[in-house]
Amino acid sequence: MTKLSVNINKIATLRNSRGGDVPNVVQFAKDVQHFGAQGVTIHPRPDQRHIRYQDAHDLKPVVYTEYNIEGNPIDSFIKLVLEVKPTQVTLVPDAVDAITSNAGWDTIKHKGFLKEVIKEFRQNNIRTSIFVDPDLKQIEGAKITGTDRIELYTEAFAHQYSLGNKNAITPYFESAVLANKLGLGINAGHDLSLDNILFFKENIPSLLEVSIGHALIVESLYLGIENVVQMYLHKLK
């Protein structure tokens, strides 16, 4: 079964919009795990406009499934991850002012930097994953960095699938085949939803984990969070 990690950034965005502590991100993390989610993902950004660095610390004692922290490995992020020691760190090349993630790493251009960062995380027993586009050269570059896994950036697939283009899965399938051959674990995320997750999962060999936030929270506004988590789990079996 492919594991479901729920990204709870949107819960923090809602909390921050009123300046209080409702909804409480720690309680929400407890709840989604209770409902069956096999992981919790957060993506703190330098401006802390949704998840705050303190949230990362507060969540540590309550995430008993997989704890995944995503972000650009700037100095403050590296320090945070080494303090919290989550199950997994996912390295994402965000610009400081990015609204959301919009590209994978150039693993060839940034090979030296990524190798250095990944080595430090692995020495601290933190599993590493690199956010990458479905490009075979970038998958090969990821292997050289020493990362444990890659996370396939799935926005392009999701957009094309919504237009009826199922062939959009092809580069992701080819990337997954190569990653498996190279011994890299495969995660995926960005714009995956109840509409496309089953098709994606059925066509990606050895998909270990998906990280889903925005779509899952939006769907939950209509269907309820416990029900939506169960719907994802059913499709990911």
Residues with Cβ within 8 Å of 163's Cβ and at least 6 positions away in sequence, in order, are none
**Nearest residue to 71 via CA among 49, 58, 3:** 49
110 is catalytic: no
Asked if 190 contacts 155 with a C-beta cutoff of 8 angstroms, the reply is: yes
**What letter represents residue 146's amino acid?**
G
Active-site choice (50, 66, 151, 190):
190
**Nearest residue to 120 via CA among 70, 78, 74, 148:** 78
Question: Please, what is the end-to-end C-alpha distance for the chain in angstroms?
Answer: 5
CA dist list (Å): 200 to 75, 148, 167, 235:
35, 22, 11, 10
Active-site choice (66, 70, 151, 209):
70
Helix, strand or coil, per DSSP, at residue 148: coil
**What letter represents residue 117's amino acid?**
V
190 is catalytic: yes
Active-site choice (43, 66, 209, 219):
43
- The bridge status of strand 149-153 relative to strand 66-71 is unpaired
234 is catalytic: no
Catalytic residues: 43, 70, 190
